[in-house]
């Protein structure tokens, strides 16, 4: 049996499509637990209607505690499942996704499997380049020591986990935080004796453009505080793993490639962030990269420059570069191509090292 946990909060218009995609899977042995997380619209009613029609569906209704708590509630009420997975209530699961992932685990005996994802935005489906790179080629029976870059795939819902592994590793979702996926997935990758990486598309991730999704609130203080905390939690997990004998390259790749991955979105928000938000951004960057500099990471040159400016608390220059990138694209270089040359940038206090192309 595959247990599917679906947290749902005020998502009535989109919930039926999500549930239809799950219940229409070619893999039929499912127990779908919908957790209505204190919805004030028709979400709970719709969930109950599905439960009345399909014996594979059960519903748990709770006060609103957030995504992590809803997932944990679903896990608590999921009995008898050999495998578990998660699906957000506004997304779509391709028809053969669960069959593909369960079949892979049955073949390999690995602890969990992760597949690729299509972003669903403005009616178009596209596989992000970074997601394609994570999942190609297939690697069966992989470990974090030999495939640390996969730690950048931090999504809960494009994976199927063996329930015995989940429980023995003591995994759960942080509660009361945004970005709860990364700390838990980091633990999962490092605790697994083996995991499978497959190129198959197993999930359609809906990108909402109405401002209601978490990822559209990056210029808020609350968002940034949670992002700092979840990065810190994940980094501490990796550091402990290496201290206990894991491959030191895992930590290097984590700091160089994984943790900087979403910083460009925060850098883009610098011009609109207030003073408190900026101070928190400086604090986060100095904390997470305390033993190195973002100027040495795999970020594109313009983003590395902004990272250096944040580290040195140079707000106006950082906002200038972020605005240039938003309006014009990649930062231009000087005549010989060795250094960045941002028109109008005040170079006062900027080390030449930060300007290298």
Q: What residues make up the domain containing 321? A: 219-355
pLDDT < 50 positions in the chain: 215
Q: Which of the listed residues 173, 199, 214 is the one where a domain comes to its end?
A: 214
**Residue 27 shares a structural domain with residue 176:** yes
**Domain match, 184 and 61 both:** yes
Distance CA 92, CA 331 (A): 37
pLDDT of the residue at 139:
97
Residues 99 and 244 reside in one and the same domain? no
d(CA 119, CA 128): 7
Give residue 211's pLDDT: 52
Mark whether 146 and 230 lie in a shared domain. Answer: no
DSSP string, 164-177: HHHHHTT----SS-
pTM of structure: 0.94
Say how far apart CA 341 and CA 106 lie, in whole Å. 54
DSSP secondary structure string for all residues of 240-264: HHHHTT--HHHHHHIIIIIGGGGHH
Residues 224 and 195 in one domain: no
Task: Tell me whether strands 2-8 and 30-37 are parallel, antiparallel or unpaired.
Answer: parallel
Whether residues 89 and 114 fall in one domain: yes
**Whether residues 15 and 162 fall in one domain:** yes
Task: Name which of 307, 304, 309, 310 is nearest 339 in CA terms.
Answer: 304
The answer to whether residues 25 and 70 belong to one domain is yes
Tokens of 14: 């989109």
Name the domain count of the chain.
2
pLDDT tens figures, 77-102: 999 999 999 999 999 999 999 999 99
Last residue of some domain: 182, 214, 246? 214
pLDDT of residue 217: 60
* pLDDT given at position 218: 64
Block residue for tokens 């699906």: 87
Residue 159 CA: distances (Å) to CA of 81, 115, 173: 15, 6, 15
Position 212 scores a pLDDT of 52
Alpha helices for 54-158 (secondary structure H): 67-76, 97-108, 129-135
């Amino acid at each position: 049996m595959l247990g599917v946990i679906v947290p749902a909060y005020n998502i009535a218009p989109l919930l039926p499509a999500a549930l239809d995609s799950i219940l229409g899977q070619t893999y039929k042995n499912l127990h779908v637990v919908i957790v209505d997380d204190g919805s004030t619209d028709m979400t709970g009613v719709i969930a109950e209607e599905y439960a009345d029609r399909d014996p594979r569906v059960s519903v748990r209704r709770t006060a609103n505690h957030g995504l992590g708590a809803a997932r944990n509630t679903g896990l608590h009420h999921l009995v008898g499942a050999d495998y578990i997975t998660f699906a957000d209530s506004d997304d779509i699961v391709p028809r053969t996704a669960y069959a593909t992932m369960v079949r892979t685990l049955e073949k390999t005996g690995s602890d969990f499997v992760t597949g690729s994802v299509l972003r669903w935005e403005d009616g178009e489906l596209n596989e992000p380049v970074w997601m394609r790179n994570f999942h190609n080629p297939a690697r069966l029976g992989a470990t974090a020591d030999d495939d640390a870059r996969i730690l950048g795939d931090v999504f809960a819902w494009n994976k199927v986990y063996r329930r015995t592994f989940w429980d023995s590793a003591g995994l759960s979702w942080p509660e009361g935080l945004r970005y709860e996926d990364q700390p838990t997935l980091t633990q999962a990758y490092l605790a697994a004796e083996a995991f499978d990486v497959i190129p198959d598309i197993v999930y359609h991730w809906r990108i909402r453009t109405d401002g209601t999704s978490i990822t559209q609130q990056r210029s808020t203080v609350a968002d940034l505080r949670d992002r700092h905390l979840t990065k810190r939690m994940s980094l501490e997990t990796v550091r402990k793993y290496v201290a206990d004998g894991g491959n030191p390259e895992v930590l290097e790749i984590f700091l160089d490639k994984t943790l900087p991955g979403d910083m460009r979105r925060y850098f883009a928000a610098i011009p609109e962030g207030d003073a408190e938000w900026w101070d928190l951004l400086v604090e986060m960057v100095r904390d997470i990269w305390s033993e190195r500099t973002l100027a040495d990471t795999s970020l594109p040159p313009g983003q590395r420059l902004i990272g250096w400016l944040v580290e040195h608390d140079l707000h106006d220059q950082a906002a200038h570069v972020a605005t240039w990138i938003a309006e014009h694209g990649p930062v231009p270089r000087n005549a010989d191509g060795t250094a960045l040359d941002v028109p109008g940038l005040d170079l006062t206090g900027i080390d030449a090292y930060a300007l290298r192309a």
